[in-house]
Copies of this chain bind each other. A is one copy, B any other.
């Protein structure tokens, strides 16, 4: 399995994880920042290897083996992110790029030992679940802060956007995983939210709220 094949599987996995229907060539091309023609070429290759179900012009989906492969790459990515944050003291906005490289290291023994070394974490630094060695995922119920109604409270458990810009914004506002968030009121004009973060009042835009996952208290 080449790096490129692994990256395509991962992209298809992420695109199909929420809407579990087939995914389009263009959607993959956009996510991978490549051209549709390149995607078509790769889909044929992945189809020959039985990692995807592909019929011309009809979108693509992962086979069971393709899904497992994808989950193992995601597992590696997220475990390495935990390592970088917990052991090497990286901040959560710096780890994604490095994990993009580390996720391609091939050694089952390595990743399982790393898993143990980290204490078998179930979530990565961004609150995303880490598949176990068999591909099982423990999904916690969480919802977007933007979907709450005033006077509800929750704990911040994840971010939807994991861009460095967004994560740095959260650092600046002192919003972190584990922060208690009380939803006070919503402004009807721009849908911005007045909230309390660990007791401290703050106003955030709806865009921010729709990228923050909370678990209701």
5 tightest A-B contacts by CB?
A88-B113, A101-B105, A98-B107, A98-B110, A88-B117
Interface of A is mostly: helix
Find out whether the CB atom of B113 lies under 8 angstroms from the CB atom of A105: no
Q: Smallest distance from the beta carbon of A91 to chain B beta carbons, Å?
A: 11
Residues of chain B within 8 A of A107, CB atoms compared = 97-98, 101
Is the C-beta of A172 less than 8 angstroms from some C-beta in chain B?
A: no
Determine whether the beta carbon of A117 is less than 8 Å from that of B87: yes
Q: A87-104 toward B: CB 8 Å interface, digit per residue (1/0)?
A: 111100010011001100
Interface bin, chain A = 10 to 19
Chain B residues with CB under 8 Å of A105's CB are: 98, 101-102, 105
- Say how far A93's CB is from chain B's closest CB, in angstroms: 13
Answer whether residue A106 sits at the interface, using C-beta atoms and an 8 A cutoff.
Answer: yes
What CA separation (Å) do A105 and B89 show in the bound complex? 18
